[in-house]
Structure formats: structure tokens, C-alpha cells
Amino acid sequence: MKTRQTVLLCVGFFMAASCSLRSFGQTLEAIAILPADTFEHGPTSGQFITPANGRIPPFVNKQPVQGISSVLRSTAGDFLVMSDNGFGAKDNSQDSVLRVHRIHPDFMTSSGGTGSIEVKSFITLSDPNHRINFHIVADLTNYPGSMVSVDPGIRNNRWLTGADFDIESVREAPDGTLWFGDEFGPFLLHTDANGKVLEPPFPLAGVKSPQNPFLGTESPTLARSHGFEGMAITPDGKTLYPMLEGPLTTDPDQRRLIINEFDLATKQYTGRQWFYHMEAATDTGQSIGDFTQVTDHEFLVIERDNFEGPAAGLKKIYLVDFDKLTTDGFLIKTEVADLLHLRDPFNLAGPGNGVFRFPFQTIESVIPLSDTELGVLNDNNYPFSAGRTAGQPDNNEFIIIKLDRALPVSRSSN
């Protein structure tokens, strides 16, 4: 009788687009940490933020390695991780340059490892050929709204900053070029492997955020920070699927998020869309953190609330299938991992009760490493977020989760 009740409950929940009763099991298998106070050489940053968690800006002649919002596998055990716009807003990130970092984690596991992360190199996004069709910080003498001179490196190299774009996702095409999903437009941004912009940004017709440079007197159709957050690419590298972080302002269902299809051969949106239903409305802080491919029709979604530390209540990863919809047209969600309830039998995160929590405000990167392993990274919002230890800025944590049930296997390859 109990089994039958569980099945009936699951069916009911699936009709509502999710079923936590059929979640996969999960165990913390490995962890590596990049300290919060990790910097690279670059223009002075943080000139437009206030002190937080004991850190006093500005950060002279350096850029923090933080805000990790997307991850790609590289070679020799390395990963490429992308920082977002910097300090969380257009106005305070004018001196934060947009970068992708090459890192090498030495994961701590039950059999050893230091648990450290080495930053090996980085690329900085730039527009030396003036492909961007609106004014950027590099075009100016002073940072917008201030008397502070734009750093010569930004001007001379036409480096892009967090006041130009809020990049939240990156995918590599088969030709080695990079595609970034941006929240300010929302735009798709196309660069070469070294971050040089190749063509004007690609807008999404009929959709504009309050930070869109072409908004003019129009009313925005997205709230701030609700543009492209996650973005998947099919295993054959032919199609992108950028996903909006929040609902359209005109949508009566404020739990509905839209996934659009973009064809890389024609460099156009196809018009095909899918709809994802969040667990709660955005006024409670719900949003998605990442959208990444598993097969040509199955994808992982990070969904999270806006809380951190003990207050964090929802930090989950779901599997969706473009071929499986509810009767009202939403993607069916199957829970893969609850990041606030991971088994930690070896106490990899330190002495504890065998349970590991990933209690960060923003968790924005997930990557399948095998059919039973997921890599997950937090966006630490340096120096503002303090989800791990009150009063201390969060580190960048890279964890590997072992699943008790295998993910689907890709039917295509690059």
C-alpha cells in the first residue's frame, strides 16, 4: 500500500512539473577550494563598491577571481571557469574586466588530494575591432558617473567590463570560438578563443532588460538581472539553448521561464521555445543558476532561492527532457541532487555529522563529468556573500557529487 501511495504521489507531482520523491541519491565525492582573496593582475577594481565582510576596496592593480558562473572542461585535468560581470551590478562593475580563467583543481577525496585550486592563466574579453554596436566603457575618458579616469589598459585594449555586459554563461563551439550568454541585453556574444569579439551582439527579439543599451523610451520586458543565465549547447555543437533567469514582466505566470533555440549555422533564433516552471514565484527569490547539456534533448537545471547560510532553503539540480512535457506545456522536472543535503561519509568538508551543505546564495555552474558524477561550483559574489562563515567572504568551492543513479548517456559527440 505504501509503494502504491508513493507512485500515485509521484504521478501527481510530475503533473505539476516536478517530483522530489524520485530524486537521485547523492554523495560528496571530492572538493577543491580557491580562497576568496585570490587575485590576478589587472586594472584597479572595486572602486565603486563599499566594504564588506572585512574587505576594504579598492583592489589596486588587481582583479578578484570570483563570480564563477560557468564551467567547461579543458585538457590535462584543467577547467575553464568564467567570471560574471564582477560586483553584481552595472554601476559598480565598471572597473571589473570580463575574464575566463584556466584552473587546475587538486581535488580532496577519500584517498587523498590537497583540495586546492591553481589558477594557471586567463583570457580577457575585448573588442579591438569595434564590433560592438554601442558605446562601451573603453570608449570613455572617465568611468560613467564619476571623475575617475578609465584605466589605460581598458581603453587601449578595449577590454570589456561589467558595465558593458553581464556574462553568465559560456559555451565552446566546434570551431573553437566562444559564445557567451548576457543578462543586460539579453545578448549572445561571440568571440574567438582568446576572447576577441567577432561580430555585433545578437539580441532576442521583443525582449529587453532595464540595462539594454537600446531600450530608449521603451518599457523593459524583463526585470533587472533576469536575462540569459544558463545556456546549453547540443553535443554536436550545432545549437545553443539560452535560458532566461526570470519571467517576462508581461507574463501572468511569474514562475514561467523561457528557453530559446539558436542555430549556430545561420546565427539566428529558430523560434522554438520550451517552458520551465520554477518551484516558487520570483518574489521569494527563486531563479535558475545554470542550464547545461546532458544529451541532445536532456539537460540539467540549477534552481535556487536567494538565501545563504542557515537561511538557504532550496538549492537543487533537476533533469529535464525536451521530449517530456506536462499537460499544460511545461518541462517535466526530475530532481537529481539536493545541494543542501549531500551525504559526506568521509567528512571531506571537515568534521561533521556526515552531511554536507552547499549553502551559497548563488550556485551557477554544473557540469557532467561522467554518467554518475557532477561538478558544481558556487558564485561567491566577492566580497559580499558569506554563506559558509558569517562575516567572511565565501571561497570559490568546486565539488564533485556522486549520483546513485546514472544520468542519460549522450547520443552525439562533438
- In the predicted model, is pLDDT for residue 12 greater than 80? no
As a whole number of angstroms, the distance between CA 106 and CA 112 comes to 9
Strand order through the sheet with 268-277: 228-233, 239-244, 256-263, 268-277
- In the predicted model, is pLDDT for residue 75 greater than 50? yes
Confidence at residue 6, expressed as pLDDT on a 0 to 100 scale: 34
Confidence at residue 9, expressed as pLDDT on a 0 to 100 scale: 35
Confidence at residue 349, expressed as pLDDT on a 0 to 100 scale: 85
DSSP annotation string for 36-75: TT-EEE-S-B-TTS--BTTB-S-BTTEEE---EEEEEE-S
Q: Give this prediction's pTM.
A: 0.92
User: So where are the chain's domains?
Assistant: 24-403
CATH topology of domain 24-403: Tachylectin-2; Chain A (2.115.10)
Residue range 376-389, pLDDT digits in tens: 999 999 999 999 99
- In the predicted model, is pLDDT for residue 2 greater than 50? no
Poorest-pLDDT segment among 11-20, 236-245, 330-339: 11-20
Q: Are 24 and 335 in contact (CB under 8 A)?
A: yes
As a whole number of angstroms, the distance between CA 374 and CA 139 comes to 41
**Nine cell digits for residue 138:** 573603453
Given pLDDT bands bounded at 50, 70 and 90, which one contains residue 283? low
Given pLDDT bands bounded at 50, 70 and 90, which one contains residue 70? very high
Average pLDDT, whole number, for the chain?
Answer: 92
Could you give the C-alpha distances from 224 to 156, 159, 186, 206, 299, in angstroms and in order?
30, 24, 10, 16, 25
Contacts of 2 (CB under 8 A, 6+ apart): none
| Cell 533537476 -> residue | 318
Degrees, nearest 5: CA angle 221-165-203? 50
Residue range 109-119, pLDDT digits in tens: 999 999 999 99
Residue % of the chain over a pLDDT of 90: 89
Mean pLDDT of 362-384: 97
Residue range 320-345, pLDDT digits in tens: 999 999 999 999 999 999 999 999 99
Residue range 177-213, pLDDT digits in tens: 999 999 999 999 999 999 999 999 999 999 999 999 9
Residue range 86-103, pLDDT digits in tens: 999 999 999 999 999 999
Residue % of the chain over a pLDDT of 70: 92
Strands (DSSP E) contained in 192-267 are 202-203, 228-233, 239-244, 256-263
- In the predicted model, is pLDDT for residue 14 greater than 90? no
Q: Are 142 and 149 in contact (CB under 8 A)?
A: yes
Given pLDDT bands bounded at 50, 70 and 90, which one contains residue 17? very low
Which among 392, 393, 362 has a CA at the least distance from the CA of 378?
Answer: 362
